[in-house]
């Protein structure tokens, strides 16, 4: 998978965001073994310490867990994955409504636009 880092944002934060999206989207499935730190770091073109720091944060958040001699794995806990998807959806909706509000749309305009857009997807 490709890694695209943006300037001005700490790389470990971007790694956390990318790994979170991969977990939420199902690119990494529950119970999947996470590639080794060095392998991920080489793939992303970052220092292994940076990758280790990001993976430690994902573990702290409960998205991955360690098995002492086997490595890291994606959580199997459906409630954690459900909460992750809901949190991401809320964040994206907040960003969307804030941006649409800045162009002069009120809640009713936004609701109508989203409904029209969803109707267009069904066709």
pTM: 0.81
**Which pLDDT tens digit goes with each residue over 46-84?**
999 999 999 999 999 999 999 988 999 999 999 999 999
Three-state secondary structure call for residue 70: coil
Three-state secondary structure call for residue 44: helix
Dig out the tokens for 16 from the structure. Answer: 């956390």
What is the per-residue pLDDT for 61? 96
**φ and ψ of 3, to 5 deg:** -110, 130
What is the per-residue pLDDT for 1? 67
What is the per-residue pLDDT for 66? 95
Average pLDDT, stretch 106-123? 88
Residue 8 burial (10 A CB sphere; 0-12, 13-18, 19+): exposed
What is the per-residue pLDDT for 2? 83
Parallel, antiparallel, or unpaired for β 64-67 and 71-74? Answer: antiparallel
């Amino acid at each position: 998978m490709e890694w695209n880092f943006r300037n001005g944002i700490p790389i470990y934060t971007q790694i956390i965001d990318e790994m979170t999206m991969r977990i939420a989207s199902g690119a990494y499935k529950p119970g999947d073994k996470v590639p080794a730190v060095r392998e991920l770091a080489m793939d992303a073109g970052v220092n292994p310490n940076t990758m280790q720091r990001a993976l430690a944060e994902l573990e702290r958040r409960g998205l991955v867990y360690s098995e002492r001699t086997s490595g890291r794995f994606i959580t199997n806990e459906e409630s954690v994955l459900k909460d992750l998807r809901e949190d991401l959806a809320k964040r994206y909706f907040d960003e969307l409504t804030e941006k649409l509000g800045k162009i002069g749309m009120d809640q009713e305009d936004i609701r109508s636009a989203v409904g029209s857009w969803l109707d267009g997807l069904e066709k």
